[in-house]
Amino acid sequence: MSYSAWILLTASLVGMSCGLVGVLLILRRMAMMADAISHSVLLGIVVAYLVTLQLSGIHMFIGAIIAGLVTALLVQSFHQLGVQQEASIGIVFTTLFAIGVILISTKAGNAHLDIQHSLMGEITFIPWNTVELPFVGSVPMAVVSLSIVLLIVLLVLLLFYKEWKLTSFDPVFAASIGIPVTLMHYIFMSLVSITSVAAFDAVGAIMVVAMLITPASAAYLWTDKLPTMLVLSCSFGVAAAWIGYYVAVWLDTSISGAMAFATGIIFLISFIAAPRYGIIAKHRRSRASAALTEHA
Amino acid sequence: MERVSNMNEAIVVNRLSAAYRKTEVLSQVSFTVKPGTLTSIVGPNGAGKSTLIKSMLELHPRTAGEVSFLGQPYQKAKKKIGYVPQRGSVDWDFPTDALDVVLMGLYGKIGWLKLPRKSDREQAMEALRSMGMEQYANRQISQLSGGQQQRVFLARALVQDAELYFLDEPLAGVDAATERIIMDTLQQLKNRGRTVMVVHHDLQTVEDYYDHVLLLNRTVVAHGPTDEVFTAEQLHRTYGGALRWMREKV
């Protein structure tokens, strides 16, 4: 495969995983948690690197899951002790992220980890960091890890589809019929963590938030059905990846930046033109009802 | 349907206490409820009515006390209990329709790793029909009125086919038609031997709707048959000065 085909594939995989996880983030009103976890996984990655002296593979994912769960647990405990939820999120992830930054610059400075990279990602280098796989040959490492993550996300989402739906819509009722709501919350936080860390290399900690939140928010405006919302959110993620790549090539700018920008454009179009919840439709409806009251 | 006939009490609550953060909201609550009764839980704002239900059902931590349902602790009796949360506790913009919400009442029975079958859908549809809601089955839930949303919630509890029902303010903000349908349904449940407890706000309808009353203000003020307990004196003990204001308003 050509250089740009690998980049497009990588970005599309990011778009799909983030699109799926993002729908649940939006429906559970946890968009800010995505921001938190996508930053604190950096600490997980750095600590995993310092412990194992390896920068790839399963160690990074374990480190990220632990960092994600620690973030979720700390946010929850501070909140229970009386700190506002949003403030608690802001305090926890910035602190963990800062520890990660300090560790990179003091202990891991000569590794492939640097702060610029972790914030912005570097999708342009991805095709060169390859592994040899049986049958398929040389494949970029990021494509392998993103494919595994997408598979895990899809599997967990589909196997427990009705439980995800119920715990997102009505957690209290879910608990009353015996669904382990808290356990599912932490499983979901783990999914957010592995998705973030897999997308981290490609798009970095800031852009991954755009990929998680924006396509799902746009999809929310187009439909009243959860399955449709999941499909749309994935499609918007992939579309943003492709648009972003070609815009970046055309303007010779950052690919991840252009991709995040593309998610914003897709959201803006949805916000204006979505059939029922877009502002044009809303405006039409309010004019129609005003006309109706006039006649009555 | 298998029914426990030798059980004298449907619900036994023994010295239950509960707190929010460090503030105690329920203190030493004890009462027993006979099977086949329809009980309203009545008390001023902040009396702990919702918290009582939630801590009985282990949805809110208890600081002390035991509760048994048909002679069993909650974890064992769970499948025999139906719960209707306050309508305002969920996001009605959630992308789903009325039938789908009713189906959620069957998730416990359907079990893990399985999807609802045709028979489940039919059962959910039947529950919607009994609430006069069949024509709204495929409507997005935010497009329903408050009363219709409440009927969907009750239909979801009905498909659970429980022995004991707990409803948190099912009549809050609903239209007259919905109020009648809900109260008829609860009456039918009672007539079929089910035990129902309802958090209720409107003092004027208590005597018409319920055969038992639990007057609550952080602890049990009075509890028993409506005609014995629902007296001016007991209400005054429950509400204090607030009641005088209500009387004047009426």
Q: Name the residue facing A173 among B83, B91, B140 (closest C-beta).
A: B83
pLDDT band at B241 (very low <50, low <70, confident <90, very high): low
pLDDT for B4 equals 44
How many C-beta atoms surround the C-beta of residue A112 within 10 A?
13
In angstroms, the CA B159 to CA A177 distance is 12
Condensed to tens digits (0 to 9), the pLDDT of residues A228-240 reads 999 999 999 999 9
Query: In terms of Cα–Cα distance, which of A217, A243, A211 is closest to A232?
Result: A217
Domain CATH code at residue A202: 1.10.3470.10
pLDDT band at A19 (very low <50, low <70, confident <90, very high): very high
Residue type, A98: A
In angstroms, the CA A49 to CA A54 distance is 5
User: Is there a contact between B68 and B154 (Cβ–Cβ < 8 Å)?
Assistant: no
Domain hosting residue A167, numbered range: 3-295
Residue-range domain boundaries for chain B? 11-249
ipTM of the complex: 0.91
Q: Which residue in B56, B80, B84, B91 has the most chain A C-beta atoms within 10 A of its own C-beta, making it the best mutation to test that interface?
A: B91
Condensed to tens digits (0 to 9), the pLDDT of residues B80-135 reads 999 999 999 999 999 999 999 999 999 999 999 999 999 999 999 999 999 999 99
Residue B9 backbone dihedrals phi, psi, to 5 degrees: -115, 135
Topology classification of domain B11-249: Rossmann fold (3.40.50)
> Nearest 5°: CA angle at A102, between A71 and A83?
35
Total count of domains within chain A? 1
**Average pLDDT across chain A, whole number:** 91
Query: How distant is the Cα of A226 from the closest Cα of chain B, in angstroms?
Result: 5
* E strand segments, chain B: 11-20, 23-33, 38-42, 62-69, 81-84, 164-168, 195-199, 212-216, 220-225
pLDDT for A61 equals 87
Three-state secondary-structure class, residue B170: coil
Condensed to tens digits (0 to 9), the pLDDT of residues A125-178 reads 888 888 888 888 889 988 999 999 999 999 999 999 999 999 999 999 999 999
Contacts B105 to A, Cβ<8 Å? 177
User: Is there a contact between B195 and B35 (Cβ–Cβ < 8 Å)?
Assistant: yes
Condensed to tens digits (0 to 9), the pLDDT of residues A89-138 reads 999 999 999 999 899 888 876 666 677 777 777 788 888 888 888 888 88
Query: How distant is the Cα of B68 from the closest Cα of chain A, in angstroms?
Result: 15
Contacts A27 to B, Cβ<8 Å? 91, 94-95
In angstroms, the CA B17 to CA B26 distance is 5
